[in-house]
Amino acid sequence: MQAFLGIDVGKADFHVSLLQDDRSWSRSFPNSPAGLSQLRSWLRNRKVKHVHACLESTGGFEETAALDLHENGHTVSVVNPARIKAFAQSELLRTKTDRVDAALIARFCKAHAPDPWIPPAPEIRALQALVRRHAHLQEMHTAETNRLGSARTASSVERSLRAHIDYLTAEIQALEVEIHDLVDRHPPLRKQRDLLTSIPGLAKLTASRILGEMPNITEYRGAGAVAAFAGLAPCEHQSGAFHGRTRLAKVGNARLRKMLYFPAMAATQCNPVLKALYSRLVAAGKPKLVALAAVMRKLLVLAYGVLKSGKPFDVEYRTA
- Pick the more confident residue, 136 or 154: 136
pTM: 0.78
Tens-place pLDDT, residues 229-248: 777 755 444 445 544 455 55
**Torsion-angle region of residue 9: left (phi > 0), alpha (psi -120 to 50) or beta?**
beta
- Which pLDDT tens digit goes with each residue over 76-132? 999 888 889 889 999 888 888 889 999 999 999 999 999 998 888 899 989 999 999
Q: How many CB atoms lie within 10 A of CB 23?
A: 10
3-112 placed in CATH 3.40.50.300: no
Distance, in Å, from the CA atom of 252 to the CA atom of 255, rounded to the nearest integer, reads 9
- pLDDT over threshold 70, residue 250: no
pLDDT tens-digit series, residues 196-222: 999 999 999 999 999 988 877 766 677
pLDDT at 43 (0 to 100): 94
Mean pLDDT, the chain, integer: 87
Compute the half-sphere exposure of residue 262: CA atoms within 13 Å on the CB side of its CA.
Answer: 6
